[in-house]
C-alpha cells in the first residue's frame, strides 16, 4: 500500500478543519492564533503534496511565500496581543468585546 | 512500505498534536501540541521530496514562531487557566458539526476534482533541493520575492511601533525623559 497524494490531502483537510474549530471554540486569543497557524500549515502541506504529484517546484515556492506571510502575521498579531494585554490585562476575546480602548 | 509506516506514524502524531492544541486549557500545552504538529509537517515535506521546505519548516515554525509564542505566553501570564465556559449556548456542538462539515466538503470536492485523475505534467524527478527551489524563486518569482521583503520590513516596523503603545497611548520619547518631564 503506497502513500498517494490523496492521503496527504485528506490529512491536510482534517488539520484545516481542526484549526477552524479551534478559532471558533477557544476564547484565548493566543490559542486562536495557534489555530490560524495550523490552518496555514495544512494549506502548505497541500501545496507541497501537489508539487510532488505534478512534478512542479512552484508548489514549494508557494509554500515558502505562505510561510513568509505567516511569519509576518504572527509577529504583528503577537505585538497587538501584548499591546492589548498591557492596556486591558486579559487575552480573553470575550472580555475584549468593546470597541473603545 | 517504509514510507507508509512513516506517514501513518506522523499522521497520528500530527492529529494528536492538533487535538492537544484544541483541548489543552493551559496555553503552554497548546503550544507543545502545535510544535508536535509542525514537526510532523517537516517529516511529511521530507517524504514529499521537499528537503528545503522541510528545513525551513523546522527553523521558522518549530524554531522561531513557537519560541515567539512561548515567549508571549510567559510574558502575559502562563498560569491563568482559560475559562472554557461558553457565553453562547450550543456553541461547542455547533462548532464540531461545522468543522466536520467543512472536512467532508473539502474531501468531497478534492476527491471529485483532481486528486484522483491528475497526471504529472512537470518533471517527474522533481526534487526540492535548495538549488532547484532557489532557481525557481530567483527566476520567475523575483518580483513576489521582493514584495515579501517589503512585507517583512513593514511587519518589523509595525511591531516596533506597536511596542510603543502603553497605558498612556503612543509614547515616542524614551521612558526616562518622559517621566522627568511629567515630574
* Rounded-to-integer distance, Cα B99 and Cα B101, Å: 5
Confidence at residue B165, expressed as pLDDT on a 0 to 100 scale:
66
* Rounded-to-integer distance, Cα B79 and Cα A3, Å: 42
Q: Are A30 and B72 in contact (CB under 8 A)?
A: yes
Q: Are B120 and A53 in contact (CB under 8 A)?
A: yes
Give B182's pLDDT tier (boundaries 50, 70, 90). very low
- Structural domains in chain A, sorted by start: 5-88 (1.10.287.3510)
For residue A21, which of B92, B41, B26 has the smallest C-alpha distance?
Answer: B92
Best residue in B4, B10, B18, B42 to probe A by mutation, most A CBs within 10 Å?
B18
Judging by beta carbons within 10 Å of its beta carbon (0-12, 13-18, 19+), is residue B137 exposed, middle or buried?
A: buried
Confidence at residue B183, expressed as pLDDT on a 0 to 100 scale:
41
Confidence at residue B85, expressed as pLDDT on a 0 to 100 scale:
59
pTM: 0.86
Q: How far B183 CA lies from chain A's nearest CA (Å)?
A: 22
Confidence at residue B163, expressed as pLDDT on a 0 to 100 scale:
80
- Digit-coded pLDDT (tens) for B7-27: 999 999 999 999 999 888 888
Whether residue A78 and residue B106 make contact (CB cut-off 8 A), yes or no, is no
Give contacts of A6 with chain B, Cβ < 8 Å. 110-111, 115-116
Whether residue B4 and residue A49 make contact (CB cut-off 8 A), yes or no, is no
Which value does ipTM take for this structure?
0.90
A97 in contact with B, Cβ within 8 Å: no
- Digit-coded pLDDT (tens) for A16-50: 999 999 998 888 888 899 999 999 999 999 999 98
Neighbour tally for B130: CB within 10 Å: 13
3 state SS of B80: coil
A66 in contact with B, Cβ within 8 Å: no
Q: Are B49 and B78 in contact (CB under 8 A)?
A: no
Radius of gyration of chain B, Cα coordinates, nearest whole angstrom: 23
How many CA within 13 A on the CB side of residue B92? Answer: 8
- Structural domains in chain B, sorted by start: 1-79 (1.20.120.1200)
* Rounded-to-integer distance, Cα B6 and Cα B12, Å: 10
Whether residue B103 and residue A53 make contact (CB cut-off 8 A), yes or no, is no
Give A2's pLDDT tier (boundaries 50, 70, 90). confident
* Rounded-to-integer distance, Cα B94 and Cα B100, Å: 10
Q: How far B177 CA lies from chain A's nearest CA (Å)?
A: 21
- The overall average pLDDT reported for chain B is 82
C-alpha cell of B5?
509506516
Residue of A nearest to B98 (CA): A21
Whether residue B82 and residue A67 make contact (CB cut-off 8 A), yes or no, is no
* Rounded-to-integer distance, Cα B157 and Cα B163, Å: 10
A18 in contact with B, Cβ within 8 Å: yes
- Digit-coded pLDDT (tens) for B54-92: 999 999 888 889 999 998 888 886 556 555 556 677 878
Q: How far B53 CA lies from chain A's nearest CA (Å)?
A: 7
Whether residue B41 and residue A45 make contact (CB cut-off 8 A), yes or no, is yes
Amino acid at each position: 500500500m503506497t502513500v498517494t497524494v490523496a492521503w496527504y490531502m485528506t490529512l491536510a483537510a482534517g488539520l484545516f478543519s481542526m484549526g477552524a474549530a479551534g478559532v471558533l471554540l477557544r476564547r484565548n486569543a493566543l490559542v486562536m492564533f495557534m489555530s490560524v497557524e495550523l490552518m496555514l500549515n495544512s494549506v502548505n502541506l497541500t501545496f507541497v503534496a501537489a508539487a510532488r504529484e505534478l512534478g512542479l517546484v512552484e508548489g514549494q515556492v508557494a509554500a515558502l511565500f505562505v510561510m513568509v506571510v505567516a511569519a509576518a502575521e504572527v509577529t504583528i498579531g503577537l505585538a497587538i496581543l501584548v499591546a492589548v494585554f498591557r492596556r486591558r490585562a486579559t487575552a480573553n476575546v470575550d472580555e475584549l468585546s468593546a470597541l473603545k480602548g | 512500505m517504509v514510507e507508509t509506516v512513516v506517514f501513518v506514524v506522523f499522521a497520528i502524531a500530527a492529529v494528536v498534536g492538533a487535538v492537544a492544541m484544541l483541548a489543552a486549557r493551559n496555553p503552554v500545552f497548546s503550544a507543545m501540541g502545535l510544535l508536535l504538529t509542525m514537526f510532523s509537517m517537516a517529516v511529511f515535506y521530507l517524504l514529499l521530496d521537499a528537503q528545503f521546505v522541510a528545513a525551513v519548516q523546522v527553523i521558522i515554525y518549530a524554531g522561531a514562531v513557537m519560541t515567539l509564542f512561548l515567549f508571549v505566553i510567559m510574558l502575559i501570564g502562563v498560569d491563568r487557566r482559560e475559562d472554557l465556559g461558553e457565553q453562547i449556548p450550543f456553541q461547542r456542538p455547533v462548532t464540531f458539526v461545522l468543522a466536520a462539515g467543512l472536512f467532508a466538503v473539502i474531501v468531497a470536492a478534492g476527491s471529485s476534482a483532481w486528486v484522483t485523475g491528475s497526471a504529472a505534467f512537470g518533471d517527474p524527478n522533481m526534487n526540492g533541493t535548495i538549488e532547484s527551489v532557489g532557481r525557481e524563486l530567483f527566476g520567475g518569482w523575483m518580483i513576489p520575492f521582493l514584495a515579501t521583503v517589503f512585507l517583512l520590513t513593514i511587519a518589523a516596523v509595525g511591531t516596533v511601533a506597536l511596542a510603543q503603545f502603553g497605558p498612556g497611548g503612543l509614547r515616542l520619547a524614551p521612558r526616562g525623559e518622559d517621566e522627568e518631564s511629567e515630574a
